[in-house]
Structures are given as C-alpha cells and as structure tokens.
Amino acid sequence: MASGRKTDAMITIEGSEVEGGGQILRTSLALSLVTGQPFRMERIRAKR
C-alpha cells in the first residue's frame, strides 16, 4: 500500500541499456502512475 507521499525527485531511466524499446517505456509509465513518481527516459532507441 502506498504511503500517499509524493517526492519531487525524478527517476532517470537509461533506455540504451538492455531492451531499450517500447516495453521499458510502458513499464516505466505504469510504475510512475501507480507510485506518483515522475520519470525521464533518455536515449530510448539508442542501439537500434
């Protein structure tokens, strides 16, 4: 259960590591919506 607290810290996700496509974006977005934590995706399709 979430504590209801939000932080202003943004999580940065490096998209060039591992898969780096749509799945990491969808998963990150879902977790962001559930937790209320903002995220930034960088170099999402770097190795393609």
In a domain, 23, yes or no: yes
CB crowding 10-42: b at 16 or more within 10 Å, else e: eeebebeeeebeeebbeebeeeeeeeeeeeeee
Q: Which of 11, 19, 9, 15 has the alpha carbon at shortest distance from 40?
A: 11
In a domain, 30, yes or no: yes
In a domain, 29, yes or no: yes
In a domain, 1, yes or no: no
What residue numbers bound the domain in which 30 lies?
A: 11-42
Percent of the chain predicted with pLDDT > 70: 69
In a domain, 48, yes or no: no
In a domain, 6, yes or no: no
In a domain, 37, yes or no: yes
Q: How many domains does the chain have?
A: 1
25-47, pLDDT tens digit by residue?
898 899 999 999 999 988 877 66
Beta bridge partners of 40: 12
Average pLDDT over residues 2-21: 70
